[in-house]
Amino acid sequence: MSPEELYAFDLNGYLVVENAVDPPLLAEAQARAAIWEERAKLTRPGQAPEPGETPRRAYRFDRIVNDEETFLQVALSPQVLARIVGLVVLPRLKSTWLDFKAQGGGIGFHSNHTPYNPVEAYIFQQRVCASLVTVCYALNDVPLEGGALEVVPGSHKANLPMPADERAVEPLRRRLPLKAGSALIFSHDMNHGSTNRLPYVRRCLFASFATGSSAHTQGDNDLYDAAFARMPEGSWLKYFLRRPKGDRDSYPMPKRTVAEEFGLEPAQVCEVSA
Ligand SMILES: O=C(O)CCC(=O)C(=O)O
């Protein structure tokens, strides 16, 4: 996380990292996502739903990294992990899901720093201490109208609740288009939502990162035990997959930096001490 990136993240609540996923891994993830999209059985544009069924415009597969190693590798992309350590104290992988949004599919706007919600609160205490950071990996290009995340920049620090009439916030919203392989890293305390208005399917892999004391929402403490067991001793990959711990998270943090573990250019990614 360069000082410029950190400044931008603190100010806005999000950061886009282009080419966050290595091209061969991205190609593999795209091929696998195409197969999962078939399983999602989305209603195609112009296709009438089965009698008695509501159209399915959006679908997500939770805990996807436990089903597919490829998605685990994407979720734990080094370019992202190197930044997460500067944003989340004692960071851990929390939730993952493979997300499809066909035309008309979307998720309503949610979150704002006030009222305070400790599960996702963004605070600054000598460093950024974001309780919940979500990463949206674009598996295909996400154009402005095609389900680009719509955010209210800065709302992760809002001192006042959202106005009751959310239309008042419209002029403050910004849409964040993405190129395939990019990662949009955002504080879940920032107001956000999305709708795909185009005739294509938005394919994204989501991964969220929480502080070590935050419980899983997609399972019990043992959610990632199998993947944890496969990872090298003392590695950041193992660290990110450790169990949550409710009192004092004393699991040893790797000695070397994420950049050192993965051979990233130090100039490319300058980590803030965790
Ligand atoms: O699917 C999206 O565009 C947004 C996902 C979202 O709202 C969330 O991660 O809370």
**pLDDT at residue 274, rounded to an integer:** 42
Ligand 1 pocket test: pick from 117, 149, 182, 196 the residue with the most ligand atoms within 8 Å of its Cβ: 149
Instruction: Report the C-alpha gap between 218 and 94 in whole angstroms.
Output: 8
CA distances from 156 to 151, 171, 186, 190, 237 (A): 10, 17, 9, 4, 28
Q: Domains of the chain, with CATH numbers?
A: 3-40+57-246 (2.60.120.620)
Atom 6, ligand 1: residue with shortest CA distance = 193
64-92: average pLDDT: 98
HSE value, Cβ hemisphere, 13 Å, CA-based, for 11: 6
User: In this structure, are residues 194 and 148 in contact, taking their beta carbons and an 8 Å threshold?
Assistant: yes
Q: Among 59, 98, 107, which residue has the most ligand 1 atoms within 8 Å of its CB, making it the best to mutate?
A: 107
For ligand 1, whether the C-beta of 194 sits within 6 Å is yes
Q: Which residues of 64-85 are buried (b: 16+ CB within 10 A; e: fewer)?
A: bbbebebbbbbbbbbbbbbbbb
Whether the Cβ atoms of residue 253 and residue 90 lie closer than 8 Å to each other: yes
Q: Give the total residue count for the chain.
A: 274
**Of the candidates 191, 189, 194, 104, the residue with the CA atom closest to the CA atom of residue 147:** 194
Phi, psi of 60 (to 5 degrees): -135, 145
Please tell me the distance between residue 100's alpha carbon and the centre of ligand 1 in angstroms. Answer: 11
Q: What are phi and psi of 149, to 5 degrees?
A: -60, 135
CA–CA distances in Å: residue 27 to residues 35, 74, 169, 197: 13, 11, 38, 25
Ligand 1 lined by 119 (C-beta under 6 Å) = no
Q: Is the CB of 99 under 6 A from ligand 1?
A: yes
Residue 79 alpha carbon to ligand 1 centre in Å = 21
- Span 24-51, pLDDT tens digits: 999 999 999 999 999 999 987 777 777 8
Q: Specify the pTM.
A: 0.95
What distance in angstroms lies between residue 188's CA and the mean position of ligand 1's atoms? 9
Give pLDDT, residue 47.
77
Taking the centre of ligand 1 as the mean of its atom positions, its distance from the CA of residue 107, in whole angstroms, is: 7
Q: Is 210 in the pocket of ligand 1 (CB under 6 A)?
A: no
Ligand 1 atom nearest to CA at 58: 1
Of residues 1 and 207, more confidently modeled:
207
- Rounded to an integer, what distance in angstroms lies between the CA atom of residue 267 and that of residue 274? 18
- Amino acid sitting at position 154: G
C-alpha 266 – ligand 1 centre gap (Å): 31
Count CB atoms within 10 A of the CB of residue 48: 9
Q: How confident is the model at residue 248 (pLDDT cuts 50, 70, 90)?
A: confident
Q: 143-178 pLDDT, tens per residue?
A: 999 999 999 999 999 999 999 998 899 999 999 999
